[in-house]
Amino acid sequence: MSNRIDATFEKLRSKGEKAFVAYVSAGDPDLERSLQIMIALAEAGADILELGVPFSDPLADGVVNQAAAARALAAGSNSSRVFELIRRFRQSHDLPIVLFTYLNPVYTYGYSAYHEDAAQAGADGILLLDLPPDEAAQNCEMADSAGLKQIRLIAPTTPPDRVELLASMAEGFIYALSRTGVTGSHGGPSAQIGDHVAAIKQFTDVPVCVGFGISTPDQAALVSSVSDGIVVGSAIVKQVELHCDAPDVADKVRSFTEPLIAAVKES
């Protein structure tokens, strides 16, 4: 069965365009407005939505995304409600969705059941931040992903032999970190990002999208020029934080994101 992620990259390649992957925390600032934000990003021209599954201990996230997870949890978000959010989004939009999560919520839910329910709800991929793929391969219960593409993270400091392993196991696209550290605004993308992408691409034909530290149209254009696309997360989530009390928060997010998307499409 064709996966929406693969189909999206095939379409982008045929048009000579790069991908814009937009990250938001599912259920932030509440479930209803989170759906509105997802729809606004889709209609602004995002190619893929990355939904952060709220978790109490998001260790790979900076303060902006940690606060977003806290707001979502306070508003009642959990794995089942994230799946319901996806089902509601699927009533009107076909944009690929990747779940960005930690192993704890997945394992607590039930590894196989989580993947099956996510796929049935309409998710297309999953990025398990703290589950190394070689360790997953040693656990038979973690072998079946129920059709979800397994997205891999690769950092600039990853050793070449590890890059080869991760790239060989990647599906959908590879999330290449532009720098080390947690998510958030700790400086812009590394000047060596082009070399980082090239080092990954020697081992795989899977598209490579770059994230971390991209918050302006100029940065978006620069990074997309040396990759297959970009991931923007904290900068978008910050807009949700700034306008979380506003009924039109989705419009605020769309207004902020549209120039970034335009920069990627024009690169």
Catalytic amino acids?
50, 61
Fill in the amino acid letter for 91: Q
Among the listed residues 150, 146, 110, the one whose alpha carbon sits nearest the alpha carbon of residue 132: 150
d(CA 97, CA 16): 22
Residue 29, preceding peptide bond in cis (omega within 30° of 0): yes
DSSP letter at 146 equals T
Match 């201990």 to its residue by tokens. Answer: 57
Collapsing DSSP to helix, strand or coil, 210 comes out as strand
Tell me the two tokens of residue 216: 């302006």
Residue 132, preceding peptide bond in cis (omega within 30° of 0): no
CB distance 148 to 124 below 8 Å: yes
Tell me the two tokens of residue 106: 């997945």
Q: What are phi and psi of 232, to 5 degrees?
A: -115, 120
CB distance 208 to 240 below 8 Å: no
Tell me the two tokens of residue 217: 């149209």
Match 């990747």 to its residue by tokens. Answer: 98
Residue 1: C-alpha distances to residues 100, 112, 157 (Å): 22, 19, 35
CB distance 64 to 185 below 8 Å: yes
Match 């900076």 to its residue by tokens. Answer: 62
